[in-house]
């Protein structure tokens, strides 16, 4: 699966629901020991670089996502409609 073919819209929605903004979420990640800048998070959520396993686990913990459900948030393919 190509990185740019991933759809993080569910993850973005959950972040906004729980933290109001991605900036607030990144600050909370940092408080929990995840070394990630706002720019790095932006690159990851915009499919320019991948999330690693530790980041996925910590993100799931903060957002109350069961590890079994992480596939839905991190590995959903993006589909384009043909017109």
The whole domain housing 19 covers 3-74
Q: What is the pLDDT of residue 20?
A: 97
Q: What is the CA radius of gyration of the chain?
A: 13
79 located within any domain: no
Q: Which residue has the tokens 């729980």?
A: 18
Report how far apart the first and last C-alpha atoms of the chain are (Å, whole number). Answer: 24
49 located within any domain: yes
If DSSP states are collapsed to H, E and C, what string results for 26-77? HHHHHHCCCCCCHHHHHHHHCCCCCCCHHHHHHHHHHHCCCHHHHHHHHCCE
- Note the pTM of the prediction, 2 decimals: 0.87
81 located within any domain: no
52 located within any domain: yes
Tokens at 22, concatenated = 């991605």
**pLDDT, greater one: 16 or 79:** 16
18 located within any domain: yes
Total tally of structural domains belonging to the chain: 1
pLDDT tens digits for range 39-73? 999 999 999 999 999 999 999 999 999 999 999 99
61 located within any domain: yes
83 located within any domain: no
Using the 8-state DSSP alphabet, how is residue 20 labeled?
S
28 located within any domain: yes
């Amino acid at each position: 699966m190509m990185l740019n073919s991933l759809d993080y819209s569910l993850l973005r929605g959950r972040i906004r629901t729980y933290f109001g903004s991605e900036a607030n979420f990144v600050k909370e990640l940092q408080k929990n020991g995840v070394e990630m800048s706002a720019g790095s998070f932006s690159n990851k959520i915009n499919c320019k670089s991948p999330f690693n396993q530790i980041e996925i686990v910590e993100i799931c913990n903060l957002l109350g996502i069961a590890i079994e459900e992480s596939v839905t948030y991190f590995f959903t393919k993006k589909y384009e409609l043909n017109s």
